[in-house]
Structure 1
Amino acid sequence: MAGSEHCEPSVEESESLRSDANIAGPMTDPVPGPRSESFGDDVSRETPPPMDDTPIGRAAQLAVEALGRAGEGLPRPEQTRVMVVANQKGGVGKTTTTVNLAASLALHGARVLVIDLDPQGNASTALGIDHHSEVPSIYDVLVESKPLSDVVQPVVDVEGLFCAPATIDLAGAEIELVSLVARESRLDRAIKAYEQPLDYIFIDCPPSLGLLTVNALVAGAEVLIPIQCEYYALEGLGQLLRNVDLVRGHLNPALHVSTILLTMYDGRTRLASQVADEVRSHFGHEVLRTSIPRSVRISEAPSYGQTVLTYDPGSSGSLSYLEAAREIALRGVPQTGGQGLSVNYEAQHSISEGTQ
């Protein structure tokens, strides 16, 4: 709109710049401010030119830096890391975290599979994967015992990224699974029979603790819990930790909570900082240093069938997920045998359903 170049673009840009300051970890500030000091006529020969102040100029420089980060190689795990992204509390950024971490690792050169276990199919949508009712899907794997290789599709705009989509048929899968033999380990068997080499598998769970989520917990070794930096952030987390402990005790001894990621962080609010401090005090080193800022670009990307990495590679959300993926990769495969969060840990810090 003529004469309004400093309205909407500048507001969004300023929000993006403020969000960049919220990205924790070793990453340096990607948007240094323009130099305002004046030291004489010869300074320009000794100092670099200031960054372009226009929104387009800043976005271009951010995009270049983001693509540079994505191009850097990361250590690849010796064996496939199966990460279960779970939180029965809705609206915490679970699916968003799943697809963007997967895309970030794929852009770093890893081979990554996303398994969409949510009947809503939001992860499939965000990756641009067709998942109408006639498409072979994870439902066929769980209920019809179809090989996982028959339903996996490549993600077109991210090399090395694949998806096993969910269709609406998955909504009735939990009822159908009840009568099947080894109902809680059907996904685990399908993954073990998958012959294509993979570095990471991310399982996007539904916002519940039913048989679909139990299948994911039996199949994975690591649990990644996204926690929003908002009021009631820890509500219901106690039940999830109890389920993890039960599955570890009876079905999957290797299962543990390895990673907690803070999402929807807004550094302009005191509440976000308080929630982040509380989560870090409860869960310690399991919490990634990087937090994911509240971002318009992250919210917009799925409607275009893309992750934020391809939709706007220079955005604060893109840079944050790249840095979070780097942390996960550098952590390697954590030791098993009860390490990580459990009900005992929860009890020590009084996190339970009754204290919310």
Structure 2
Amino acid sequence: MGKIIAIANQKGGVGKTTTSVNLAASLGVLEKKVLLIDADPQANATSGLGIDVESVEVGTYQLLEHTNKAEDAIVKTSSPNLDLIPAHIDLVAIEIELVDKEAREYMLKKAISHLKDVYDYILIDCAPSLGLLTLNALTSADSVIIPIQCEYFALEGLGKLLNTIKSVQKIHNKDLDIEGLLLTMFDSRLRLSNQVVEEVQKHFSEMVFETIIQRNVRLSEAPSYGESIINYDAASKGATNYLSLAQELITKNNS
């Protein structure tokens, strides 16, 4: 039985999509069967895996509308063992279109829960908001990974997100767990980066992943080539970090 993990934080620019794409690719390289669902209208995870966003005819939008089955939307990527359900800009409209539908928070869950028999891990790249799209992701997920950048306003908004997760647990999905907080964009030369790490580890000790994602030029270059860091530069610091995170996740879920 596979596991569905949402990667969420309503703050933009914290490394959500970078984490979604590269963790998915790393799990694939470690011989897990992985599906990445792009649930962000910006569709960066889709283009970051080399899929032309304009050419997407069936994707997350059709899944949420229940006009197509999940199987119709799945595309193979060039990354080993990694499939993708792509997004398109039309996903922007979904929040308005679902608003008066019954059980609107469960649309994604209904569409994908049977895929847990097919994949080891299903990762959902969430939009940088706490709207209906993210709510659908959290309702369908078993757990959530929260990326936190090692910068000044790192913890701002975290309380809000944790409250949202609490209310999702209460109302929609009592089994939702926090998989872990992931520190991203770490620069060991900066005192601030080190302070943020200390602060987060002090407040959330057990919840924080041991792996820390360091700032890495190759990591930010990879998406413009439509490749994960594993395909783009397997020897880079970024690739090493994400492989280590994937291994930590596998170990944690096997213990």
Q: TM-score, normalised by structure 2?
A: 0.97
Residue 145 of structure 1 deviates from its aligned partner by: 3.4
- The residue number in structure 2 matching 1:114 is 36
Counterparts of residues 184-263 of structure 1 (less than 5 Å): 184-194=105-115, 197-263=118-184
Q: 2:243 aligns with which of 322, 327, 339?
A: 322
- The residue number in structure 1 matching 2:87 is 166
Distance 1:186 1:318 in 2: 34
The percent of aligned pairs where both chains have the same amino acid is 48
1:89 matched to 2:27? The reply is no
> Deviating runs (4+, > 4 A) in structure 1?
none
Distance 2:105 2:179 in 1: 22
RMSD value over aligned CA atoms? 1.3
1:104 matched to 2:22? The reply is no
- The residue number in structure 2 matching 1:306 is 227
- The answer to whether the 8 A contact 1:129-1:163 is kept is no
Greater relative contact order (Cα < 8 A, sep 6+) = 2
CA deviation map 1:248-284 (0-9, x unaligned): 0111010021211110000011110000000011111
Distance 1:163 1:147 in 2: 14
1:287 matched to 2:208? The reply is yes
**Aligned to 1:332, what secondary structure does the other structure show?**
helix
Q: Which has the higher helix share?
A: 2
Distance 1:174 1:217 in 2: 15
Q: Which has the higher strand share?
A: 2
Higher Rg of the two aligned structures: 1
Distance 1:110 1:193 in 2: 17
- The residue number in structure 2 matching 1:275 is 196
| Structure 2 alignment gaps of length 5 or more | none
Residue 319 of structure 1 deviates from its aligned partner by: 0.4
- The answer to whether the 8 A contact 2:20-2:45 is kept is yes
**Aligned to 1:319, what secondary structure does the other structure show?**
helix
- The residue number in structure 2 matching 1:9 is none
Q: TM-score, normalised by structure 1?
A: 0.70
**Aligned to 1:105, what secondary structure does the other structure show?**
helix
1:332 matched to 2:253? The reply is yes
Query: How many pairs does the alignment contain?
Result: 255
